[in-house]
Amino acid sequence: MRYHLTPARMAAINKSSNNKRWRGCGEKGTLVHCWWECRLVQPLWKSLWCFLKKQGDDDIRCLSMLGHFGFECLPHQLVNRSIQQGFSFNILCVGETGLGKSTLMDTLFNTNLKEKESSHFLSNVELKIQTYELKENNVQLKLTVVNTVGYGDQMNKEASYEPIIGYLDAQFEAYFQEELKIKRSFVDYHDSRIHVCLYFISPTGHSLKALDLLTLKNIDNKVNIIPVIAKADTISKNDIQTFKCKIMNELTSNGIHIYQFPTDDKTTAEVNSSMNEHLPFAVVGCMEEVKVGKRMVRGRQYPWGVLQVDNESHCDFVKLRDMLLCTNTENLKEQTHTQHYERYRRFKLQKIGFTDVGPDNQPMSFQEIYEAKRREFYSQCQREEEELKNKFMQRVKEKEITFKDAEKEQDKFEHLKRIQQEEMIKLEEEKRHLEEEIIIFYKMKAGCEILQSQGLTNVKKDKDRKK
């Protein structure tokens, strides 16, 4: 690995003794600028220097920066670009009906997302998808909230998690198909992959339900899971701590992996490490304001006092909000892309037949794999074509034999038909002769009757004469 410093602009230097930084304001001099004075660039240079030192390569050229080059403004460019494009964040809320999922979303973003109440009498689990455009101090956020409707309300709960898995895979597949396009448009593409799943646990105080374990086990490799204890104001503080320990022990014993806040960043390592110890978060959602002393706060009024939502000593809502929206939003999106989506993408490509190594366990490029698959597909097509040709010729031969047998039968039929026609002609001749003989017979009969009648008449006349 080599790093080279390539000049991008040329400048005429007339005053070589002037070491002041030059910004093109009319003064000509050497391009010397101690850029360690820029606080934005110092972390970047420190990270780069540590990376170069770890490489341990003798061929690396280590250059000392002697002037101002202008890339100290790169962070500002990234910030401006991000503000112009806006941000997106997708949340999946999984939990039984009535645990306050919609209320917590309203409290989390301090707005009314206007979701209707869900019914307890649905035959199947459904997913309700709502997308909102939020804005805070010129920062735009495209928020997508996916809520499970009817989860845990059926008598048979074995297939309650299947619609959730189907939705998660469908979003991965949509992004995967967009990646495979020749002309991709990720700038305008709305990434609908779920970045975090808030799993709402019923505040029983005992243990996780079988449905909870079944669902978490099936989705932990597809989404970042942050478990939360819903309606934590129904349990005492001591019981909440005991309940948290039971939940974490059950998750560990069942091999369920939940999202752990990253501790590799020095700026957030201490906070995230302490927050990992508070999982699962015991939260309470409420948009109503009550008066405490001389100020109005969000909370719930009880006969024994007021539960303040934004008070960390009352519940973990502030911890959840800070970890979710203020500290680890980008890490959640990065984990979704680099771990969960990459796992799905690797599975799909392996299913198609693409791998990183060849039959001899040697690395292969995508082009080589494509050519190999193309040759394999071509040979397979040829084999199938030969098989189809052989089947076609076999069918043709069978049809020819059938046609020949049919022709023989046709000849027999024609022969029998000719014989029948000849017999019919003979019968018609015999019938004609018989009809002629019948006519002659009737004529002879009529003549005989006439003669007989005449003879009888003559006999009578003779008798009359004799008398």
Contacts of 227 (CB under 8 A, 6+ apart): 199, 201, 216, 247, 251, 258, 279, 280, 281
Residues of the chain where predicted confidence (pLDDT) is lower than 70: 1-71, 114-121, 357-362, 364, 366, 466-467
Which among 255, 278, 251, 261 is positioned nearest to 332, based on CA atoms?
261
State the Cα–Cα distance between residues 318 and 331, nearest whole angstrom: 19
Please give the pLDDT value at position 467: 62
Integer angstrom CA distances of residue 205 from 190, 237, 299: 40, 11, 22
Please give the pLDDT value at position 13: 38
Residue 263, amino acid: T
Q: Express each pLDDT in 264-301 by its tens digit.
A: 888 888 888 888 888 889 988 888 888 888 888 888 88
Please give the pLDDT value at position 122: 72
Please give the pLDDT value at position 205: 80
From the CB of residue 282, how many other CB atoms can be counted at a distance below 10 Å?
25
Q: How many CA atoms does the CB half-sphere of 352 hold within 13 Å?
A: 15
Which among 326, 323, 285 is positioned nearest to 307, based on CA atoms?
285
Q: Are 323 and 260 in contact (CB under 8 A)?
A: no
pTM: 0.66
Please give the pLDDT value at position 274: 87
What are the phi and psi torsion angles at 8 (to 5°)?
Answer: -105, -25
Residues in the chain: 467
State the Cα–Cα distance between residues 408 and 418, nearest whole angstrom: 15
State the Cα–Cα distance between residues 368 and 362, nearest whole angstrom: 12
